[in-house]
Amino acid sequence: MTSEIASAVTSPIAAAASAGPQPAPAEVTFTGRDGKGILITEPAMKQLAALMNQQGPAKVLRVGVRSGGCSGMSYTMDFIDAAAIRADDEQYVYEPANAPSFLVVSDPKSLLYIYGMQLDFSSALIGGGFNFTNPNASQTCGCGSSFAV
């Protein structure tokens, strides 16, 4: 993860607070294989747009999973060059209202575990950061960035 994203990943307090029902994502248009993929709420989109603006042109957001973490698998988020998109990556174009569109990519193996996941962002002073709500997870750890299926 980039340092900006890594420092914004949810804390145990935010993970506990997000355990309840989650609001539906704000009005967003996104296109992909079937129009589902990864749901991104309006606050997360605003934060991602700000981070992408700092990264410069020709960057896309790669979202995925890797082995490790407290519960067995952990989420990954990183900005990559558009030229690094692989042929088998699933691509989703997000077109938030009043903001430039951006591309999110995920490899097919990761997408098996995060398909339908909701990515949210909280700017709370304590426990703020990106929060993952994954309908495929059978359990999550206290940090909110690790899960098991």
Model confidence over 47-88: pLDDT tens digits? Answer: 888 888 888 888 999 999 998 777 788 889 999 999 999 999
Q: Is the pTM here over 0.85, yes or no?
A: no
Residue 64, pLDDT score: 93
Residue 11, pLDDT score: 32
CATH of the domain at 46: 2.60.300.12
Q: Rounded to whole angstroms, how far apart are CA atoms 134 and 113?
A: 8
The residue that leads in pLDDT, 15 or 119, is: 119
Residue 72, pLDDT score: 82
Domain range for residue 115?
A: 3-148
Residue 8, pLDDT score: 40
The residue that leads in pLDDT, 90 or 56, is: 90
What mean pLDDT is reported for the chain?
Answer: 75
Residue 108, pLDDT score: 92
List pLDDT tens digits, range 16-46: 334 444 444 444 444 444 456 788 888 888 8
Q: Residues for the chain: how many in total?
A: 149
Neighbouring residues of 104: CB distance < 8 A, sequence distance ≥ 6: 37, 38, 40, 60, 61, 62, 63, 91, 92, 94
Counting the structural domains of the chain, the total is 1
